[in-house]
């Protein structure tokens, strides 16, 4: 029998295991979400997910666990400061070049993109 997908057999087994796990978790979530007796226990109407709780706890306390280093300083500088100065230099350069070409008379007044019409 020919292969149905263009994947090796071990990759197909992994995908089937993932699908089986996803289906199990989906059914478990639906079972917990639609349980009519959960309100009697006072737990509320939501399903507690420990992995989601760990993620939210980690994101809230990330600042407390931050340790400054040279790499952090370099990344912050290269992501925030260098692009701002580069963009500012580009704007200043293009505007000053355009102003100089206007002052030298290389661009006629009617051909300018931004002109004051009175």
pLDDT, tens only, 23-72: 999 998 888 888 777 766 666 667 778 888 999 999 999 989 889 999 99
Is residue 5 domain-resident? yes
In this predicted structure, the answer to whether residue 1 has a pLDDT above a threshold of 60 is no
Is residue 59 domain-resident? no
Is residue 118 domain-resident? no
Is residue 11 domain-resident? yes
Question: Per-residue pLDDT tens for 65-113?
Answer: 889 999 999 999 999 999 999 999 999 999 999 999 989 989 888 888 7
Is residue 63 domain-resident? no
Is residue 60 domain-resident? no
Is residue 47 domain-resident? no
CB-based burial label for 76 (10 Å; 0-12, 13-18, 19+): exposed
Q: How many domains does the chain have?
A: 2
What kind and span of H or E run contains 93? Answer: helix 82-104
d(CA 69, CA 42) in angstroms, rounded, equals 46
Residue 29 structural domain: 1-39
Mean pLDDT of 5-33: 91
Is residue 22 domain-resident? yes
């Amino acid at each position: 029998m020919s292969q149905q997908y263009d994947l090796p057999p071990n990759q197909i087994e992994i995908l089937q295991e993932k699908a089986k796990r996803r289906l199990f978790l989906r059914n478990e979530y639906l079972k917990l979400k639609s349980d009519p007796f959960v309100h009697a226990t006072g737990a509320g109407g939501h399903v507690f997910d420990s992995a989601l709780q760990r993620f939210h706890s980690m994101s809230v306390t990330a600042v407390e666990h931050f340790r400054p280093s040279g790499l952090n300083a370099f990344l912050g500088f290269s992501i925030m400061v260098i692009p701002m100065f580069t963009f500012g230099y580009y704007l200043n350069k293009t505007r000053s070049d355009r102003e100089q070409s206007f002052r030298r008379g290389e661009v006629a007044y009617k051909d300018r993109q931004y002109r004051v019409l009175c």
